[in-house]
A and B are shown apart, each in its own frame.
Chain A
Amino acid sequence: NAGVTQTPKFQVLKTGQSMTLQCAQDMNHNSMYWYRQDPGMGLRLIYYSASEGTTDKGEVPNGYNVSRLNKREFSLRLESAAPSQTSVYFCASSPGGLAGLSSYNEQFFGPGTRLTVL
């Protein structure tokens, strides 16, 4: 199993350009997530999809859109890139559902996409 895969690995954009980051998982997970990671800020949730057909905003959704294409794939789109969106983007997936009293829905992360906006 490949786990969580992301494309591309690196990307350089000019301000105002658009692009889509792709993510796929082969673990039959219900939930998928997009995070960004910036120095000193930790991982911040952009959008998530609790199950196929649903998406919700996270902590920092402005400037982004998402599509849950099917159970396997969850894409993140930057419509008009800005330098403030320079970051490392991680996709993650988890079995989904509410955490139980003694269980935890582990999130599995992809390798990341390093995006620079000039």
Chain B
Amino acid sequence: QKEVEQDPGPLSVPEGAIVSLNCTYSNSAFQYFMWYRQYSRKGPELLMYTYSSGNKEDGRFTAQVDKSSKYISLFIRDSQPSDSATYLCAMTSYYSSASKIIFGSGTRLSIRP
């Protein structure tokens, strides 16, 4: 079983829809939870990160962590065609070196105009 599981999609929604992307994990030591966005043929870039449980909002994006269920989500409101990309969840623990990040396999998202 992988430490981090992510539905690969693809997910296709109309412009303006609310998008929900999710990951589950098995390691209870994870403390930092990240979402990276990767456009086609580009490197990943950090979108948001959350420490421990709770919600974090940044514009149209909301990251949510439920440590009791080992479940994290990324919500995109008022989705735009420019949001079309692959979204990778990632996580690491406080006690590990910052180098040891575990990535999900990514969900490919397409926003239809």
A interface, CB within 8 angstroms of B: 4, 31, 33, 40-45, 48, 50, 56, 58, 90, 92, 94, 96-99, 101-102, 104-112
Contacts and interface: CB of A to CB of B under 8 A. Distances in A.
Interface residues on B, range: 20 to 34
Complex A-B, nearest 4 residue pairs according to Cβ-Cβ distance, in ascending order? A109-B43, A105-B98, A42-B105, A43-B103
A118 to B, nearest CB: 21
Interface stretch (B13-21, B44-52, B65-73, B77-85): B44-52
Interface string B9-47: 000000000000000000000011010000001111110
Interface of B: 4, 6, 8, 31-32, 34, 41-46, 49, 51, 88, 90, 92, 94, 97-101, 103-106
Contacts, number: 68
A104 B101 CA distance: 11
Nearest to B89: A42
